[in-house]
């Protein structure tokens, strides 16, 4: 992976795209003083270069009934650590797992998991997560409230 060169205009476009859901090239151009076609060409170039990966709809998890968020710290056995990719492939299959990171330190993975409630997390934990091969220990931290959550990068 390599970074690409972004000028100030590119950064303004990206900031608007991150902060105003569904904004179009015409509106972006008007806000930053660029023609719609020039703005569209820049957006297309940044898509082609992989800078813009997607423009997802961001849902309020609590309003759709997913009221519980848990960070699970997963430590694998030494045998499990020899096959990190197996664990990663297995965990990708679970829609409850929103994010999965390989981390340095006393654990091997950090997972962000959402479920309807604590009971649903308990069921997910016992029936799915704890059944994966190579797990030595899982420490779960239940989120009480969201202080800050963003998908916008500080560019």
- Asked whether residue 40 is assigned to any structural domain, the reply reads yes
User: The pTM is what?
Assistant: 0.82
77 shares its domain with 123: yes
73 shares its domain with 27: no
How many separate domains does the chain show? 2
Q: How far is CA 70 from CA 15, 60, 87, in A?
A: 29, 16, 18
Percent of the residues in the chain that have a pLDDT greater than 90, as a whole number? 78
**Model confidence over 28-37: pLDDT tens digits?**
999 999 999 9
Please give, one letter per residue, the 3-state secondary structure of 106-144: CCCEEEEEEECCHHHHHHHHHHCHHHCCCEEEEEEEECC
> CA 71, CA 140: separation in Å to the nearest integer?
6
**Model confidence over 35-58: pLDDT tens digits?**
999 999 999 999 999 999 887 778
Flag whether pLDDT at 82 surpasses 80. Answer: no
CATH number, domain at 31?
Answer: 1.10.10.10
CATH number, domain at 100?
Answer: 3.30.70.920
Give one DSSP letter per residue of the chain, joined into a string: -------HHHHHHHHHHHHSTT--HHHHHHHHT--HHHHHHHHHHHHHTTS----PPPP-TTTTT--EEEEEEEEE-HHHHTTHHHHHHHHTT-TTEEEEEE-SSS-SEEEEEEESSHHHHHHHHHHTGGGSTTEEEEEEEE----S--------
Domain that holds residue 107: 68-142
**Model confidence over 106-123: pLDDT tens digits?**
999 999 999 999 999 999
- Asked whether residue 108 is assigned to any structural domain, the reply reads yes
41 shares its domain with 74: no
72 shares its domain with 133: yes
**Model confidence over 91-102: pLDDT tens digits?**
999 999 999 999
Flag whether pLDDT at 79 surpasses 80. Answer: no
> CA 6, CA 17: separation in Å to the nearest integer?
15
**What's the pLDDT at 81?**
72
**Model confidence over 134-152: pLDDT tens digits?**
999 999 999 999 999 888 8
**What's the pLDDT at 152?**
84
Mean residue pLDDT of the chain comes to 93
Flag whether pLDDT at 132 surpasses 90. Answer: yes
């Amino acid at each position: 992976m390599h970074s690409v060169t972004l000028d100030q205009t590119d950064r303004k476009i990206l900031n608007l795209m991150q902060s105003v859901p569904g904004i179009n090239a015409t509106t972006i151009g008007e806000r930053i003083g660029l023609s719609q076609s020039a703005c569209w060409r820049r957006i297309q170039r940044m898509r082609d270069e992989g800078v813009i990966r997607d423009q997802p709809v961001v849902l309020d998890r609590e309003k759709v009934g997913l009221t519980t968020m848990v960070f699970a710290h997963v430590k694998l056995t030494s045998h499990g650590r020899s096959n990190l990719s197996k664990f990663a492939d297995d965990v990708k299959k679970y829609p409850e797992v929103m994010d999965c990171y390989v981390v340095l330190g006393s654990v091997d993975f950090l997972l962000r998991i959402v479920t309807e409630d604590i009971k649903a997390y308990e069921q997910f934990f016992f029936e799915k997560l704890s059944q994966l091969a190579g797990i030595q220990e899982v420490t779960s931290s239940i989120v009480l409230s969201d202080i800050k959550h963003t998908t916008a990068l500080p560019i």
